[in-house]
Structure 1
Amino acid sequence: MKSAQQSGKLVSSLFPEDVRKQLYQEEEAKVRSKENEKGWLIRSSTAGGHYDSGGAEGFTKWSSTRTHVEVFELLEALYGQFDRIADKLNVFKVETIGDCRCTYIAVTGLPEAQPEHALIMTKFAQTCMRKFHPVLVSLSPTLGDDTLNVQMRVGMHSGPVTGGLLRGKKARFQLFGDSVNTASQMESNGQPGRIHASATTATELQKLGKAEWLTLREDKITAKGKGLMTTYWVNPGGSAMTTTKL
């Protein structure tokens, strides 16, 4: 029973609830259709898809002087904190990417559309940023004072996405579509300690009565494959978050 409970928790962390239910139903019914053998496409969302990508700045320099165990310790602490925040806000972690920036990708409004997705993801981003520095402080005695130099930036975009489960030996739930690329562009063109959002997400926040959270970015960004884009800085509640060194 303990083993089954642990396996259930692992599956719950990998797939959204609706996907889990369908997977269990398929297993129970022993469904073996030709379509399932090729791959399983669950849904194309026309509204509410929201992608959040947090990049850690200064991470490359820091990690180059650390052991793999120390790098793992830092990421486990940070991502564990983000996971707890995601659970409370009904945000689903899609994946983490261990590249030179270390990226955490999350979404809400999938597979069921969430009208307040922009508000939820903004709260998620803000809370993650507030918890970021305390985690670094707690680890600096063992990982070194320069751990405090690692910084975080966030990029957000709202738009349609397709969620799919790629069949194979190691099945993974992934998101596909231009919205994923746009959110990544928001993150990579952002700044440390700030939430950077597309004009689409800004419009969604305005609809929800949060126009005061938005500041138009003075310079347009050049996004790969998209050209010049007008974007916004998001500062929930007028906090000092954007000026705090994380």
Structure 2
Amino acid sequence: MTHTWNPAQYLRFGDERARPFLDLLAWIPAEAPQRVVDLGAGPGTQTALLARRWPRAEVLAVDSSPEMIARAATVPGISAVQADLRRWEPPGPVDVLLSNAALQWVPGHLELLPRLAGMLAPGGRLALQVPGNFDEPSHALRRELAAEAPYAEHLQEIASPSSHDAATYLAALQDLGLEVDAWETTYLHVLHGPDPVFEWVRGTGARPTLQALPEPLREHFAVELRARLREAYPDSGRGVVLPFRRIFAIGRRPG
């Protein structure tokens, strides 16, 4: 089942969502790449940082969402193309191929890594980051509620993100002949406002679920999920703490 994305909702927590991208970018030691690609670029706000770091490079944003690419097309310094990252082909060898918080939406994405690694120029780098928090209440509570009546009958084929640990990505990229660095980080995002964890997941992981439900079930589901998340993530008076584990890997093709 397909779903659409809302760039404004996604960017509501833009600073927090940018942190892993910035950390991944900081560990890519490429000095003067000619072609840089952001796979699953979303609205292109972070892709712009690639153009800022490598101003002489051709920087391309790729995303399957027409809403996101329409936003990315307005970002100065980059090009944008709507395409499914499972089938997209680069115009030539890529020096930096980056995928930030996108591969978790691709079922069996480890099988995609050989194709992506094959796009690299000699000395090129494949850099990826995926969430590693799918056992946390922010996801588990949504899955539990989605399995209950009357919601379950509408949610049989929704998109469900998943990922692997850092050691799995390290081994998979090493098997492709790449030199690999892999690690993980848990961020403690302090969120503010009414039901901030619900607002966070409403822009990403919970979006396919909510869109698949008919009205008025969608609103009933949202009310119940808000209540469960509020209990799981209480406000201390200084904000709501959302622990968010992220998995990183960078593979370099020898050249």
TM-score by length of 1: 0.27
